[in-house]
Amino acid sequence: MTAPAPLSPILYEAIARRALEEDLGRGGDLTTDLVVPATARLVARLVARTNGRIAGLPVAATVFRMLDGAIAIDTVAGDGRDVAAGDVLATVEGPARPILTAERCALNFLGHLSGIASATRDVVAAVAGHPARIVCTRKTTPGLRALEKYAVRVGGGANHRFGLDDAVLIKDNHRALAGGIGPAVARARDGIGHLVKIEVEVDTLADLGEALDANVDAVLLDNMPLDTLAEAVALAKGRVITEASGTVTASSAAAIAATGVDLISVGWITHSAPAMDVALDVETP
C-alpha cells in the first residue's frame, strides 16, 4: 500500500513544543550543556532496533529542528516503510548539543507512533484476503488524537470518528435514554448535516433488525459471539456497513473477518500498542 498523505505540521507543532518544554523544564539539558563542548558536531542515525512500520518521522524531524534550526535530517526510510532491526531511518547531522538534547523527545514520538502503525499493520495483515478493514476508535492518548489517527492510517488501517462531532454513533446508553433505536435514530436524523452518517451499536439480532428498519448507515456489532456475528453480517450485508468490535487480537481477527464483516474496530492499536524501539546511534565523533 502507499503511505497516506503526511500530516500538516499545524496539527502537531503545538504538542512538539510542549514535549520539548516538559523535557527541558526550567534548566535545560544539564548534562549536555555542561559536558559536551559547544563546538562539537555530530552525525547520527535513527535506527530501528526491531521490525516495524515507521510513523512519525516528520514529527521527530520537527522536534529536532524546533530545538535548533541548524540540525539537518535526511530521511532514508520514511513514514509507511516497513523496516527490520538495524535499518537506518534517517541521518541527523549538526551541532552535537541540540541533537543530544532533542533525542529522547524525538524518539518518544517516533517510537509511540511507529508502535501504533506496526500494531495496526499486523492486525491488517491478519485479515488479509478478507474484505474487512481495520479501524481505530476514540480510545486514544489524551492530546495525541490527530497523530495517533494518522499512525493508524500509516499502518494500513482506516479511521473511525476523529471525535464526537463528525458522525453519529448511537450506543446503548443513548438508545435507552431516547426510548429505543427507532426514536434515537429519528432524533439524530432530524438534526444532523447531510454529510453526517449514523451508526448504531447493536448487541443482538433483534437490535439489528430495529437498526435496519431505521435505515441507518452502519451498525456496530458489539461483542457478539462469532456465530451470531456471522448471522448478523448475513442479515445486514448489502443494506448497511457492518462493523465488529470487542476483544480483537491479531489471532482472533481472522476469524472475525471470515464472517464477511466490513470493518473491525480495534481499541488497543491506539491505547495499548507497545512502542517500537527506535534509537539514535551516534557515529563516533
Rule CB under 8 A: which of 72-131 touch a second copy?
96-98, 100-101, 104-105, 107-109, 111-112, 115
Judged by CB under 8 A, the residue of 5, 225, 227, 251 near a second copy is 5
Q: Which grid coordinates belong to 281? A: 546511534
User: Smallest distance from the beta carbon of 10 to a second copy, in angstroms?
Assistant: 5
Taking alpha carbons only, the member of 205, 200, 226 closest to residue 215 is 200
Distance between CA atoms of 85 and 106, rounded to whole angstroms?
A: 19
Q: Write down how long the chain is.
A: 285
Judged by CB under 8 A, the residue of 48, 151, 160, 202 near a second copy is 160
Binding mask 198-237 for a second copy (x = CB under 8 A): -x-----------------xx-------------------
Q: Which grid coordinates belong to 22? A: 516538559
Phi, psi of 121 (to 5 degrees): -55, -45
Q: Which of residues 161-200 bind a second copy (CB under 8 A)?
A: 161-178, 184, 187-188, 190-197, 199
Q: Is 43 in the site for a second copy (CB under 8 A)?
A: no
Q: Which of residues 253-272 bind a second copy (CB under 8 A)?
A: 262-263, 268, 271-272
Judged by CB under 8 A, the residue of 53, 81, 130, 149 near a second copy is 149
H, E, C per residue of 198-257: EEEEECCHHHHHHHHHCCCCEEEEECCCHHHHHHHHHHHCCCCEEEEECCCCHHHHHHHH
Q: Which residues are catalytic?
A: 104, 139, 171, 201, 222
